[in-house]
């Protein structure tokens, strides 16, 4: 297999290292790449104890992108389990449906533990999730032990080691990891919604409701077709008259500034107010001058008569 891949590729180096680390099966999980494809792995996980999946052994595929570990893998279950759909990419915070919550420090082992930890949780309408009754899940758990993969030939009866006294530590680690991943997904999404809830809201809410309820998006009035004629793209081959070309060039050279226009309007309004005050003052001064001259004229006439 090494001769088929570029050993200098970060993804190839990482996957070969993880394949060596996960070579030996444990009592809770096991995963290895296919013989002819390093970017497709088959895994086996044991159902978490004290749950509807107790006693079940589930098989699936992990398809990794060439950009791994910078991008998350896609996870597909091949065994009926009542929590995830069979043969469909499931939606988890560590899967390809949510690259925004993926961290390059996570590995295939992290994905296996997350699958175990997420199995007892509610699907809540996420992509690839199911909400079977506890009785149906327990029946599928017993039936899963007879599953044999047609691609890799692994039998569930011998895929994992028997449970031991140290198995409870792996169960605790799986639950804690699922809790941490869920918490990180809630922090990364606005409003504290989980990734599955956020996706359900995006599918059910109308665009008008999203625009109103999101305070970070400023709504603007969109002109209708009657109010404004759409402007053709710069690269479009449209014939224009010389006057239209000059007007377009002038608009490009002198962009309109809303703030400058407002300042000019305030200046004009201030000049108008000053002119009005000046006119009133001059009018009052002229009236006072006329009154004084009339007063002096009357006083002169009165002295002359005497």
**63 three-class SS:** strand
Strands, DSSP E only, in the chain?
29-34, 37-46, 57-63, 74-77
CA distance 43 to 297: 119
CA angle 242–247–249, rounded 5-degree value: 95
Cis status of the peptide bond prior to 29, with omega within 30 of 0: no
CA distance 286 to 280: 10
Q: Residue 120 forms beta bridges with which residues?
A: none
Residues 41/34, Cβ–Cβ less than 8 Å: yes
CA distance 86 to 140: 12
Residues 175/51, Cβ–Cβ less than 8 Å: no
Could you count the other beta carbons within 10 Å of the beta carbon of residue 114?
23
* DSSP code, position 155: B
Sheet of strand 29-34, all strands in order from the earlier edge strand to the far edge: 29-34, 37-46, 57-63, 74-77
CA angle 23–26–30, rounded 5-degree value: 55
**125 three-class SS:** coil
Residues 102/147, Cβ–Cβ less than 8 Å: no
Catalytic pick among 22, 76, 78, 91:
91
Q: Annotated catalytic, 91?
A: yes
Residues taking part in catalysis: 91
């Amino acid at each position: 297999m090494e001769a088929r891949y570029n050993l200098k590729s970060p993804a190839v180096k990482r996957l070969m290292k993880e394949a060596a680390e996960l070579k030996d099966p444990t009592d809770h999980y096991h995963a290895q790449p296919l013989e002819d494809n390093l970017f497709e792995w088959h895994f086996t996980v044991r159902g978490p104890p004290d749950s509807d999946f107790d006693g079940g052994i589930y098989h699936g595929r992990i398809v990794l992108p060439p950009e791994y570990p910078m991008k998350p893998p896609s996870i597909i279950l091949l065994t009926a389990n009542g929590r995830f759909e069979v043969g469909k990419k499931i939606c988890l915070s560590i899967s390809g449906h949510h690259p925004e919550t993926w961290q390059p420090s996570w590995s295939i082992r992290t994905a296996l533990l997350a699958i175990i930890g997420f199995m007892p949780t509610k699907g809540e309408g996420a992509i690839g999730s199911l909400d079977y009754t506890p009785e149906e899940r327990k029946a599928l758990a017993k039936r899963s032990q007879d599953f044999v993969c047609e691609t890799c030939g692994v039998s569930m009866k011998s895929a994992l080691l028997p449970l031991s006294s140290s198995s409870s530590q792996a169960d605790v680690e799986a639950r804690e990891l699922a809790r941490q991943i869920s918490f990180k997904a809630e922090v990364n999404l606005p409003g504290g919604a989980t990734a599955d809830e956020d996706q359900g809201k995006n599918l059910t809410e109308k665009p008008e409701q999203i625009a109103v309820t999101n305070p970070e998006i400023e709504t603007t009035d969109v002109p209708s077709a009657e109010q404004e004629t759409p402007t053709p793209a710069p690269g479009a081959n449209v014939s224009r008259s010389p006057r239209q070309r000059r007007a377009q060039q002038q608009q490009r050279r002198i962009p309109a500034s809303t703030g400058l226009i407002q300042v000019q309007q305030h200046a004009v309004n201030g000049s108008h107010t000053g002119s009005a005050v000046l006119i009133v003052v001059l009018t009052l001064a002229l009236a006072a001058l006329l009154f004084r001259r009339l007063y002096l004229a009357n006083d002169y006439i009165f002295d002359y008569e005497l």
